[in-house]
Structure 1
Amino acid sequence: MIDPRTLREDPDVVRASQRARGEDEGTVDKLLSLDAERRSSIATADQLRAEQKQLGKQIGKAKGDEREALLAKGKELAAKVKAAEAEQTRASGEFDELHRRLPNLVLPGVPEGGEDDYVVLKHVGTPREFDFTPRDHLDLGERLGAIDTERGAKVSGARFYFLTGLGAQLQLALLNMAAAQATANGFQLMIPPVLVRPEIMAGTGFLGAHSSEVYRLEEDDLYLVGTSEVPLAGYHSDEIIDLTKGPRRYAGWSTCFRREAGSYGKDTRGIIRVHQFDKIEMFVFCRPEEAEHEHERLLAWEEEMLAKIEVPYRVIDTAAGDLGTSAARKYDCEAWVPTQQTYRELTSTSNCTTFQARRLGVRYRDANGRPQTAATLNGTLATTRWMVAILENHQLEDGSVRVPEALRPFLGGRDVLVPPGE
């Protein structure tokens, strides 16, 4: 959630952020009103409790009729304290509930608008010209014995799949290459739990506008994560961490789950939009003043990985209305998919400033030893979806697929994927 001081001292910044996101500016005025009620009720309750304490001292010294009168006054005062505390609880509860629903403040320069209002920052590489009709990733995957969506649907339903043989090997090779890059750059590799408590899921901002995307186990009151960003963000919840030696960087390897609510009829073929996939996610805790620089570094590490799989891609600056609740700025890297003749997202990196850490209670000590709220950032390093771009961009006319050079050591030196028996 955003700093309440920003809300009080510079509400126009919050209103501008809401406008850029296409959200209701009236929420800001409602919050200011609730904050005033909350602060007034706290002051009233504090004053009445002080009077009650002072009266208690007087009662202890009084005798006879004076004591009886003071006791009667004390009873009346106790009722007022109880009413004031109830008002404080109400006002604070309403403020906190609305405050937690307010999305993060977008950073200066973020494009305004929705999903289609992104700004392309650059293109890298040139889409390949084929001298044959290219096959899509599912056709290639089936020929290679790598992807089986038919049996995935039989076992689990639509948008599930099996990675088989070369498909399983290719995914493991890709994720191992990402893990190697992450650890070489100082990230601590983590395999986190994929079930989290409600306070952790809510703390990262995923139970707001996008709660319909999250799988919930009602009987256990746990949520399946859609990204290891969630458990990694909660790793240091309610802690004061040491950032004196620089940012803390983690790379989480996990299976991820998404309901894909509202995507009926979209990307139903293949493994582009699925309910379950594997991913390595970078996650950073740092000082707020380091966050923008750290964001650029995360993007650079993502581009380093994309260069290793040798596919054309573009980088976009995501518009405010498509950021999600927690992000203040987000860059996406989208790879060219030949059979779709368009770019599709492979990576995303977000600067969440202090929004998540404030909700989760993650702090550090400043130069004066005072606790301050940390900043958090995240970025995708590799996912199952990357196989789509690898298969389609590196396919050969006979249905085999060239393995990008950097990936070969992770596939036992194999330079071409060929159908079984060939």
Structure 2
Amino acid sequence: MIDPRTLRDDPDRVRAAQAKRGLSAEIVDVALAADAERRTAIATFEAKRAEQKQLGKLIPQAQGEEKQSLLAQTRSLSAQVKEAEAAQVAAEAAWQEAVRSIPNLAADEAPAGGEDDFVVLETIGTPRDFAAEGFEPRDHIELGRMLGAIDLERGAKVSGSRFYFLTGVGAELEFALVNLAMEQARNNGFTQVIAPSLVKPRAMEGTGFLGQAADDVYRIEGEEMYLVGTSEVAMAAYHSEEILDAATLPRRYAAFSPCFRKEAGSHGKDTKGIIRVHWFDKVEMFVHTTLDQAAAEHQRLLQWEKDFLDKLELAYQVIDTAAGDLGLSAIRKFDCEAWIPTQGKYRELTSTSNCTDFQARRLDIRTRVEGQTVPVATLNGTLTAIPRAIVAILENHQQPDGSVRVPKALQPWLGREVLEPVGA
């Protein structure tokens, strides 16, 4: 959640941040009113408790009718204390609900607006000109079928729409991408992690995924467990309720996990192929650091994402996501979008977000700075989301006969330079 001091001391800044995201500022007034009621309730409860304690000291010294009168007052005051305590608990709950519904304050540098208001920061590489090469590119669905790499029909038969099997060289491609990503992460000082895909509500709520993204989350019926849409959830909660030694920061993790998303609101979008699916594997970078280092770490995460896309020999662009398209926890997000030839446009392959101390406040992750205990900052960044990486590789590196040239960085992991059509 946001720093309550910012809400109290500079509510206009919070209102402006809401407007930048295209959201109503009404919640700011609701939260301020709830905070005032909470503080009043606390003061009332503490006053009643103090009165109760003072009265308790007088009873042993009293005699006769005076003592009976004091005992009667004690019984009445006890009821008032319980009532004040209940009011305090309710006021605290109302305050927490209000302040937790306010998104992180978008960075001044983040563009205002919604999904289509992003700013292109740079373009790397030039999209391949298939017309000049004299052939029409095949999409990843056809290439996957020719290579024996992607089986959509059996995926739908077994699990339903937006599911798939990776077979043969498709499965090999996944392992190669994971190995390449983990090698790069290790070389950059990341600790490798295999993260759980099932988490408790505390982890999901603490990372902000039970807010605006709740409709996209799978919940296990009958159990207080959720399937994660990204290992960001597990890795953020990894150090929950801990105080991290400042000398150990930044703590960088590269986590592999399956990810699950309902894709709510995507009806009619990317219904074919493996660009938008309900399940996929991903290697996610996650960092705990100090607040003053968060912006610089964000740039480092972006560079590591670009380094990986360069290894895949893809043409891509980097965008600064508009405030209205940010997740609840992020103040700024950069996406790397690779060129997809058969769609004639760039599509997101990776993203990296700076969540400052928003998640850390919810999850109670702190460090000590100059003798003071303060929340850490958390950041996340995709190193590789497997299906979209496979789509980009197949479509961009295909050859006229349906074979696919393997990027040099992946060749050691695949043991070949070209993926050949089955039976070729």
Q: TM-score range by the shorter chain?
A: over 0.9
Matches within 5 A, 1:122-141: 122-130=122-130, 131=133, 132-141=135-144
Name the SS for the 1:180 alignment partner: helix
Tell me how far apart the structure 2 counterparts of residues 280 and 128 of structure 1 sit (CA, whole Å): 27
CA apart distance, 1:98: 1.5
Note if contact 2:192-2:255 (Cα within 8 Å) is conserved in structure 1. yes
The one-letter code sitting in structure 2 at the alignment partner of 1:51 is: E
Match of 1:379 among 348, 356, 381: 381
2:258 is equivalent to residue 246 of structure 1: no
Question: What TM-score results when the alignment is normalised by the length of structure 2?
Answer: 0.98
Match of 1:85 in 2: 85
Tell me how far apart the structure 2 counterparts of residues 317 and 402 of structure 1 sit (CA, whole Å): 31
2:417 is equivalent to residue 415 of structure 1: yes
User: Which deviations, in whole Å up to 9, do the C-alpha atoms of 1:263-285 show, x marking residues without a partner?
Assistant: 12110111000011110000000
| Total equivalences in the alignment | 420
CA apart distance, 1:72: 1.6
The one-letter code sitting in structure 2 at the alignment partner of 1:118 is: F
Tell me how far apart the structure 2 counterparts of residues 225 and 111 of structure 1 sit (CA, whole Å): 28
Name the SS for the 1:334 alignment partner: strand
User: Which deviations, in whole Å up to 9, do the C-alpha atoms of 1:129-152 show, x marking residues without a partner?
Assistant: 112100001111110000000000
Name the SS for the 2:347 alignment partner: strand
The one-letter code sitting in structure 2 at the alignment partner of 1:387 is: I
Name the SS for the 1:205 alignment partner: coil
Tell me how far apart the structure 2 counterparts of residues 245 and 220 of structure 1 sit (CA, whole Å): 36
Name the SS for the 1:371 alignment partner: strand
2:333 is equivalent to residue 330 of structure 1: yes
Match of 1:313 in 2: 316
Tell me how far apart the structure 1 counterparts of residues 246 and 394 of structure 2 sit (CA, whole Å): 41
Match of 2:33 in 1: 33
CA apart distance, 1:243: 2.5
Tell me how far apart the structure 1 counterparts of residues 60 and 189 of structure 2 sit (CA, whole Å): 65
CA apart distance, 1:89: 1.3
Name the SS for the 1:99 alignment partner: helix
CA apart distance, 1:69: 1.3
CA apart distance, 1:246: 2.9
Tell me how far apart the structure 2 counterparts of residues 43 and 406 of structure 1 sit (CA, whole Å): 64
CA apart distance, 1:86: 1.7
The one-letter code sitting in structure 1 at the alignment partner of 2:164 is: Y
Note if contact 1:137-1:270 (Cα within 8 Å) is conserved in structure 2. yes
Note if contact 1:179-1:251 (Cα within 8 Å) is conserved in structure 2. yes
Note if contact 2:34-2:98 (Cα within 8 Å) is conserved in structure 1. no
Match of 1:62 in 2: 62
2:122 is equivalent to residue 119 of structure 1: no
Name the SS for the 1:281 alignment partner: strand
2:286 is equivalent to residue 278 of structure 1: no
Tell me how far apart the structure 1 counterparts of residues 158 and 221 of structure 2 sit (CA, whole Å): 23
Match of 2:151 among 148, 153, 157: 148
Name the SS for the 1:285 alignment partner: strand
RMSD over aligned Cα atoms: 0.8
Q: Structure 1 regions of 5+ residues with no counterpart?
A: none
Matches within 5 A, 1:19-418: 19-130=19-130, 131=133, 132-368=135-371, 370-384=372-386, 385-412=388-415, 414-418=416-420
Name the SS for the 1:335 alignment partner: strand
CA apart distance, 1:367: 2.6
CA apart distance, 1:421: 2.6
Following TM superposition, the consecutive aligned residue runs of length 4 or more in structure 1 with deviations greater than 2 angstroms are none
CA apart distance, 1:102: 1.2
User: Which deviations, in whole Å up to 9, do the C-alpha atoms of 1:1-34 show, x marking residues without a partner?
Assistant: 1111111011111111100011110110111011
Tell me how far apart the structure 1 counterparts of residues 137 and 241 of structure 2 sit (CA, whole Å): 52
Q: Structure 2 regions of 5+ residues with no counterpart?
A: none
User: Which deviations, in whole Å up to 9, do the C-alpha atoms of 1:157-208 show, x marking residues without a partner?
Assistant: 0000000000000111011100000011010000011100011111100011
The one-letter code sitting in structure 2 at the alignment partner of 1:34 is: A
Percent sequence identity over aligned pairs = 61
Match of 1:4 in 2: 4
The one-letter code sitting in structure 2 at the alignment partner of 1:167 is: G
Name the SS for the 1:244 alignment partner: helix
Note if contact 1:175-1:383 (Cα within 8 Å) is conserved in structure 2. no
Tell me how far apart the structure 2 counterparts of residues 81 and 367 of structure 1 sit (CA, whole Å): 39
